[in-house]
Structure 1
Amino acid sequence: MDIVLATLISLAAMAVSVLLHYQSMLIARNILQGSGLSRRTGVIVGMASVTVAQILSVLLYAVIYYLMTLRPFFGSLNGEIEGGFLDPLYFSLMSYTTLGVGDIFPLGALRIVSGIEALNGFALIGWTASFAYTLMRQGWSD
């Protein structure tokens, strides 16, 4: 049951994360259309928007790790743990970016969450790169 619940929590987090990115791109586009800003400034606005979305996604997963570790049946984060919120935040950042340093690692159902976060992060980083390319291609032609 813990694996099913962890999977559902992960899928919900992924949906929120995708919606955050989609909304950040829409907001950037709406700000830029008819704003009178130069295309180069538009690149900065667009990149700031998706960077904030990336950070919020990492924070979302970090909160999930933190809350799930309060319930032992979900598993735990082990390794070089210092205590507090910094550990799940750092682990989330390593998972989201697929860096996977390995100094902190999940046990139990948290492994499902970290795997889905890595998949989510990989896809959204790629989406961000595509968005950035589009912004820059348009921005450098001015």
Structure 2
Amino acid sequence: MNEHVAHLIALAASGVIVTVCVVLHYEALRFLSRTVGVHVHKRIGVLVVMLGLLVAHVVEIIIFALGYRVMQLDTGLGHIAGLNENSFFEFIYFSSVVFTTVGFGDLVPTGAIRVLSATEGLAGLAMITWSASFTFLAMQRLWPHLLSQAERNAKD
């Protein structure tokens, strides 16, 4: 396969995967926003937000891992050096390292599949910061007395 064609295919696949993950993340935030309200105790609400966001991130990592698995199936789009193709958990491990922007170490993408790695790092960073912002707003709403206590302590 022509290198330019491989990169265009990888870019298109990356766009689809990122779009699916962003929509999933948006819907998870919407669900959490509606679910955690006046009907849930404030302490439980914070736990629901944190656990819900962790689940959303894990699902997004798995979606990217599926993308790597499909792209590595003799498609001419490259491969991940050092990865055991018979273990899907290795794809999940690689995806989690890229999503959280920890960096490459024992597994390194080669070929057009690097496009997916680059977009996953960017998307992961964006979604993690989106989650952090959402968590901050939820904490402001659910635990205002704690935030005001922290402000008082900071002034002392």
Match in the other structure for 1:126: 129
Q: Which runs of 4+ in 1 moved over 6 A?
A: none
Match in the other structure for 1:107: 110
SS at match of 1:48: helix
Of residues 69, 73, 95, the one that matches 2:72 is: 69
Pairing 1:97–2:95 present? no
Give, in whole Å, the separation in 2 of the partners of 1:136 and 1:87. 35
Q: Percent identity?
A: 32
Residue segments in structure 2 that go unaligned for 5+ positions in a row: 146-156
Give, in whole Å, the separation in 1 of the partners of 2:116 and 2:79. 11
Of residues 15, 18, 27, the one that matches 1:11 is: 15
Pairing 1:78–2:81 present? yes
Q: Is the 8 A contact 2:61 2:96 kept in 1?
A: yes
Q: Which has the higher contact order (CA 8 A, sep 6+)?
A: 1
Give, in whole Å, the separation in 2 of the partners of 1:113 and 1:82. 19
Residue segments in structure 1 that go unaligned for 5+ positions in a row: none
Q: Is the 8 A contact 2:32 2:49 kept in 1?
A: yes
Q: Deviations over 1:38-63 (max 9, x none)?
A: 22211111122221111111000101
Give, in whole Å, the separation in 2 of the partners of 1:87 and 1:72. 19
Give, in whole Å, the separation in 2 of the partners of 1:42 and 1:60. 27
Q: Deviations over 1:22-45 (max 9, x none)?
A: 1011111111234x2122211111
Q: Which has the larger radius of gyration?
A: 2
Give, in whole Å, the separation in 2 of the partners of 1:111 and 1:32. 38
Match in the other structure for 2:45: 42
Give, in whole Å, the separation in 1 of the partners of 2:27 and 2:34. 10
TM-score norm. by structure 2 comes to: 0.84
TM-score norm. by structure 1 comes to: 0.92
